[in-house]
A and B are shown apart, each in its own frame.
Chain A
Amino acid sequence: MFSWSTIVENLPYLLQATRFTLLVSGLGMGLGLVMGIVLCVARLSPIRWISRIAALYVSFFRGVPLLVQLLLAYYFLPSVGIDIPPLWAAVCSIGLCAAAYIAEILRGALIAVPHGQAEAAAALGMHPFTIWKRILIPQALKISMPSLVNELIMLVKVSSLVSAVGIVELTRMSQSISAATFRPLEIYIAAAAIYLVINLALAGLGQALEKRLDY
C-alpha cells in the first residue's frame, strides 16, 4: 500500500534538507559562472598556451563523471592537508565542473554576437578589456540565458550526487528516512516530486526571463 502518511510525516525533514540542495546548486552555479567566464575568455585567447590549458580543462571536467570528480576531491583535499568542510568541497567540485559547461555555452553565444559590434566598439577607441566587459560578455550572457537556466536545472539534479560524499541534502535525507521508515518508495517519490517542482519552477522562471530580455 502506498503510504501517504509516511510522506506527510517526513515532509518537513525533506524540505529542510532541500535548502542544502538549493545551496549546493546555487553556489555551484555562481562559482561556475565566474569561472566559466574566465575560462571562456581564456579559451578564446590569442595566446596559444592559455587557450590550450582552457581547452584541456573543459575536456577533463566534461569527460570525467561528476561522481568521480566529487570522490577525487573528497580524497584529494585531506591528503594534501586542505581541511575545508565537506559542504564547501562539494560546492567547489560542482562549480568547477559547471564552469567547463558554462564556458562552452558562452563560447557558443559569443560566436553568435555579430562581429561588427566588437569592431564598432574598437572603432570608438574602447580598450579590449572594456569591450569584453561592456559589450561582448553581457550580450553572450543574454543570448545564452536559456542554456544557462538549463545548466542550473542540471546542477539541481546532479547536486543529488553530493549525497555520496556525506552531505545531507535532499537525496541523503531521503536515504536516511527510507532506512528508518522502511518506506523507500514513498520517500523517494516525494523527493523526486520536490526536485521536479524546483526544476519546473526554474524552467518557468527561465522562460519569463527570456521573454523580458527579448527586445
Chain B
Amino acid sequence: MDIDLFVQYGPILLCGLLNTVLCWIVGAAGGVALGFVIAVAMYYGPRPLRYVLRGYIEVIRGTPFLIQLFILYYGGPNIGLRLDPVPAGILGLIIYGSPYYAEIFRAGLQAVPRGMIEAGRAMAMSEGTILRRITLPILMVSSVPPLTNFSIILTKETAILSIVTVPELLYQVQTMSAETFAYMEAMFALALFYWGFVEVISWAGRKLELKTNAFLSKELSA
C-alpha cells in the first residue's frame, strides 16, 4: 500500500475515526441513560406503562438497526423531523441500544437480594434512601460487566451509520477508495483496524471489570 495515500487521505481518515468514536461514545452513553430510565420505570411504574415499555423493547429488538436508521433519517422529514447525518446516527444508536441496556438493568434490579432491601426497611430507612444507598450501588456492581459487553458490540454497529452518509470511518474509507480504486486493500486494512480496535476495547473492558467491584464498592458508599 502507498504511503502517499495515507498522507493524502490521513486527515479525512482521522476525521472518520473521530466521528466513529464520537457516535459510539455519545450513542452508548445515551443508550445507557435511556435504558436505565426504562428499566426503573418498568420496575416501579404502573402496569400500563410497563406494557408500553415492553412493547417498545420488543419492537426495537425485533427490527434491523438499518431499517431503524432509515425510518429516522429518511422517514423523519415526513413528520417534520429533519436531522443531520451525525445527530441522526447518534440518536439511532441511542434508540437501538436502549432496550438492550434496559434489559441489563432490569435483570440487575431483579437480582438485588430481597434481604438487602428488607434489612434497610428493618433499619427504618425510607424507600428513597434504600433505592439510592442500597439498591442502585448493588445494581451497578452486577450490571457493569454486561454493560461493557454490549457497549463493545455497539462499536461495530457504528459502521452501519455509513449507509445513511454519516462521515464515520467506513464512509471515509469508501470515499477514499472510490477515488483511488484500491477497494480491496482499503477494506482489508479497515477490517484489521476494527478487529484490533474491538480486541483492545474488550481487553480493556475485562481489565476494568476486574477492578470495578472493588472500585465501585468504595466509590459508591463514600
Contacts and interface: CB of A to CB of B under 8 A. Distances in A.
B18 interface: no
B34 interface: no
Interface string B69-97: 01100111011000000000000000000
Nearest to B156: A65
Contacts of B162: 67
B68 interface: yes
A62 B66 CA distance: 19
Given A64-B194, A67-B160, A69-B191, A196 B71 contact: no
A178 B152 CA distance: 33
A65 B170 contact: yes
B127 interface: no
Interface stretch (B38-46, B56-64, B130-138): B56-64
A134 B160 CA distance: 41
A84 interface: no
B191 A192 contact: no
Contact of A66 (B58, B156, B190): B156
Contact of B66 (A63, A75, A161, A178): A161
Interface string B183-206: 110011011001101110000000
B63 A195 contact: yes
A68 B191 contact: yes
A5 interface: no
A143 B197 CA distance: 33
Nearest to A59: B199
B70 A65 contact: no
A143 B167 CA distance: 43
Contacts of B75: 184-186, 188-189
A174 B68 CA distance: 13
Interface string B142-178: 0000000000000011111011000000100010000
B158 to A, nearest CB: 8
A10 interface: no
A167 B159 CA distance: 19
Contacts of A200: 58, 62
Interface centre among A66, A69, A175, A185 (most CB of B within 10 A): A185
A68 B159 contact: yes
A171 to B, nearest CB: 6
A146 B137 CA distance: 31
Nearest to A193: B63
Interface string A171-213: 1001100100001111011011001100110010000000000
Contact of A68 (B65, B71, B190): B190
Interface of B: 58-59, 62-68, 70-71, 74-76, 78-79, 156-160, 162-163, 170, 174, 183-184, 187-188, 190-191, 194-195, 197-199
Interface of A: 59-60, 62-69, 71-72, 75-76, 79, 153, 156-161, 163-164, 171, 174-175, 178, 183-186, 188-189, 191-192, 195-196, 199-200, 203
Given A71-B187, A161-B64, A185-B71, 19 more contacts: A59-B195, A60-B191, A65-B158, A68-B194, A72-B187, A157-B62, A157-B63, A157-B65, A158-B64, A160-B64, A161-B66, A171-B64, A175-B70, A178-B74, A184-B71, A186-B78, A188-B71, A188-B75, A192-B68
